[in-house]
Amino acid sequence: MRKPFVAGNWKMHGSKAFILNLVTGLNSRAGELEGVDVAICPPSLYIDFTKRTLSTGVIALGAQNMAEEPHQGAFTGEGSASMLKDLGCRYVILGHSERRAIYGETDSEIANKVQVALDAGLTPIFCVGETLQERESGVMKSVISTQLEAVLSTVGIAAFSSIVIAYEPVWAIGTGVTATPEQAQEVHAFIRSKLAELDPVIAEGVVIQYGGSVKPGNAKELFGQPDIDGGLIGGASLDADDFIAICKAAEI
Ligand code: PGA
């Protein structure tokens, strides 16, 4: 039985005042959470502030990105996996479509980052997903297979017992357009079947989150699908009540 997992991706939002208000709201309602793992991923600059503001052990911390380089050194502007670990992070989002599209991150860089994160003891939240054009031109499954295989060939199937996958159709991110539960389930089942070709036991245990315009009003139906094990939440994770409502919708 997979335990559902909901993570909030704050992206580049917030200030100390905003985070104090948001985390105070989360602290006051964290006691309601049961049967679901929950994490929040603030901008790296605010991870430490967020950690000091969190008064509950129920909500874990994650980062949104990290350096590909495993060792410290002359890498101006970068932050390493071990630094995230030192700050108290348990998770790191890797391969988000915004990193791929805006910053040109390649499959091979992402695969290396997944390995570096694992080596540092972080759990990667590894994102895959197709654009609208790829979906409409019928190459959705091959795009997702390529993204998956890049990581599989670097870290191997066994490592997927320590990796969370997030399926995020690019056309559903921040657009208010959500994949229907059936559309999402089809891709989640496809991802699991690709992993099952290599190791059915590991495939069965991998948590696969859905991300893309998840809101309190659509979360329950999405999370009710057999292969959807929670969500990666952008916009709605910036509101404590909405985020808690989404977490509660994933509870088993
Ligand atoms: P959204 O973002 O919930 O705002 O669509 C999800 C994500 O990009 O992780």
CB of 9 sitting under 6 A from ligand 1: yes
Nearest Cα neighbor of 165 from 83, 214, 240, 110 is 110
User: pLDDT tens digit string along 67-79?
Assistant: 999 999 999 999 9
Rounded distance, CA 196 to CA 175, Å? 32
Closest C-alpha to ligand 1, atom 7 = 234
CATH number at residue 127: 3.20.20.70
* 71 is an active site residue: no
* 136 is an active site residue: no
What does pTM read for this prediction? 0.98
Nearest Cα neighbor of 10 from 104, 76, 96 is 96
User: pLDDT tens digit string along 114-147?
Assistant: 999 999 999 999 999 999 999 999 999 999 999 9
Q: Which one-letter amino acid corresponds to residue 154?
A: T
Domain that holds residue 51: 5-68+76-249
Whether residue 242 contacts residue 204, with contact meaning beta carbons closer than 8 Å, is answered with: no
Measured from the CA of 233, which atom of ligand 1 is nearest?
Answer: 3
Compute the distance from residue 194 Cα to the ligand 1 centre, in Å: 24
Rounded distance, CA 39 to CA 215, Å? 16
User: pLDDT tens digit string along 1-14?
Assistant: 899 999 999 999 99
User: pLDDT tens digit string along 172-224?
Assistant: 999 999 999 999 999 999 999 999 999 999 999 999 999 999 999 999 999 99
Count of domains in the chain? 1
